[in-house]
Amino acid sequence: MLSHRAGRLLSKSERIGLIGELLFLRDVLSDRVGWNAAIKCWNGPGGHEQDFVVAGSIFEVKTQVVTADRRIRISSEDQLDAVQG
What pLDDT is recorded for position 49? 77
Burial of 31 from C-beta contacts in 10 A (0-12 / 13-18 / 19+) = exposed
Burial of 48 from C-beta contacts in 10 A (0-12 / 13-18 / 19+) = middle
Task: Give the residues of the chain that fall short of pLDDT 50.
Answer: 1
Gyration radius (Cα) of the chain, Å: 13
What pLDDT is recorded for position 68? 66
Q: Structure pTM?
A: 0.69
Q: Domain ranges in the chain? A: 10-80
Burial of 58 from C-beta contacts in 10 A (0-12 / 13-18 / 19+) = buried
What pLDDT is recorded for position 34? 94
pLDDT tens-digit map of 9-24? 888 888 888 999 999 9
